[in-house]
């Protein structure tokens, strides 16, 4: 991985307007990079200080994001060596996973309402993107109400 990993992980700034806290945005971008294969086991993450400077956020925000990633098992931190992607992907606790799914759903509903969109239309679009058949009460694919 390049020495300028900050730019690859965070090509765009974090959103202050997002319903998600900055530490969660950092955590989610790292998890997405792991999931997409951009980050592989044993890849070194930027130092917390370097990432805080790059993102223009408080160092404590990055520290909390890294701590959450470590708790999830996505990264491991070695004293005086840095933080690295774990060899095995994390296996989230079922209850924790269910809570995160609910939190993400609640955030999506809030964001869609704030944007003046019908949350049900978002659900229909998600089912369409996932290739799931419409429920009997939904219109056919691609014709989500808005």
Residue 62 pLDDT = 96
Residue 37 pLDDT = 87
Exposure of 113 in the CB half-sphere (CA atoms within 13 A):
7
Q: What is the share, in percent, of the chain residues with pLDDT greater than 90?
A: 37
Residue 1 pLDDT = 47
Contact 31, 69 (CB under 8 A): yes
Question: Does residue 143 surpass a pLDDT of 60?
Answer: no
Question: Does residue 137 surpass a pLDDT of 80?
Answer: no
Residue 138 pLDDT = 67
Q: Which residues contact 41 (CB under 8 A, 6 or more apart)?
A: 85, 86, 87, 88
- Average pLDDT rounded to a whole number, residues 129-144: 71
Dump pLDDT digits (tens) for 33-80: 888 888 999 999 999 999 999 999 999 999 999 999 999 899 999 998
Residue 65 pLDDT = 96
CA dihedral 123, 124, 127, 128 (to 10 degrees): -140
Residue 144 pLDDT = 47
Dump pLDDT digits (tens) for 89-125: 666 566 767 887 888 888 888 888 888 999 899 999 8
Structure-token match 């109400």, residue found:
145
Nearest to 87 by CA among 72, 101, 106, 74: 74
Residue 145 pLDDT = 47
CA distance 138 to 144: 8
């Amino acid at each position: 991985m390049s020495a300028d990993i900050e730019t690859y992980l965070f090509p765009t700034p974090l959103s202050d307007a997002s319903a998600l806290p900055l530490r969660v945005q950092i955590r989610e971008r790292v998890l997405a990079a792991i999931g997409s294969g951009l980050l592989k086991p044993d890849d070194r993450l930027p130092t917390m200080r370097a990432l805080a400077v790059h993102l223009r956020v408080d160092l404590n925000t990055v520290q909390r994001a890294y701590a959450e990633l470590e708790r999830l098992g996505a990264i491991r931190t070695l004293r005086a060596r840095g933080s690295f992607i774990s060899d095995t992907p994390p296996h989230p606790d079922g209850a924790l996973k269910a809570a995160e799914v609910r939190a993400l759903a609640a955030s999506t509903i809030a964001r869609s309402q704030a944007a003046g969109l019908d949350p049900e239309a978002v659900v229909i679009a998600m089912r369409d993107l996932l290739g799931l058949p419409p429920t009997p009460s939904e219109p056919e694919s691609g014709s989500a109400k808005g």
